[in-house]
Structure 1
Amino acid sequence: MTVDARATARRPLHFAVGGAILVATALIPGAESVAADQTSEVTVPYTCQFPSGEEKAEVAIKALLPVSAGAGETIQPGDVSVEVSLERSALARFTALEAATLSAVADLTVRNTVGEHSAEASWQRLEAPAAPLPEEGGPVLTATGDVPTVAFGSPGEAAITPAGLTLVLASFTEDGAPTSPPELTVACEPADDEERPLARITVRDGASPTAPAPGPSDPAPGKGTPEPPAPPTRPAPGVAPDARQKIDDLTEARLEALDDGDPGSCPIEIPPEWVMTTAETYAAGYANAAKLDGAVSLGPAFMKVVLNKRYINDSCASTVDVTSEVEFEHEGKRQLPPAKATFLSYGFMPTTATMVLEQVGPPAVVQTHTVTNTPTYPEESTVTAQLSMRLYDVEVNGVPLDVGPDCRTVRPFEQVLKGYGQSYPPAGYLVATGGNLTGNAHIPPFKGCGVDEDLDPLFTSAISSSGKKADNYTKMTQAPLCVATNPDGPDCPPRIPQPER
Structure 2
Amino acid sequence: MPRRVRPRTLTVSALAAVGLLSAVNGALTGVGSAAPAPAVPPDTDAKASVSVTCPFADPLGARKITAETSATLPAQAKTGTSATIREFTTKLTLPRDVALSLLPAGATTGSLQGGVDVDLAVHQGDRADKVPVPLTVPATPLPETGDVTLAATGAVPEIALNTVGAVTFDVTAPTLSLAAVPAPGVITTEPAPKIACTVDPEQETALGKVLVLPPVTPGTKDKQQEALADGPAPGDPPTEDEFGVPLSLVTILAKSTVKKLGATVTSDPAFLFNGLFILNLVTGDSRVTGSTTFNPATTTFLGFGFVPVTATVEFLPVDYRDSKVIEIAGNITTHADDQTYLDTTLQVMARLSNAKVNGVPLDVGPDCVTKKAVELSLNGPYEAFGVGHIRTDEDKGFELPEFTGCTAGGQDLAPLLNGMSSGPGNQAFVDTYNLIVCTEPDDTQCPDGSNGPPEGSAAAKKAVKKTN
Shorter-chain TM-score range: 0.3 to 0.5
TM-score (norm 2): 0.45
Compute the TM-score of the two structures, normalised by the length of structure 1. 0.42
Name the larger-Rg structure.
2
Higher relative contact order (CA 8 A, sep 6+): 1
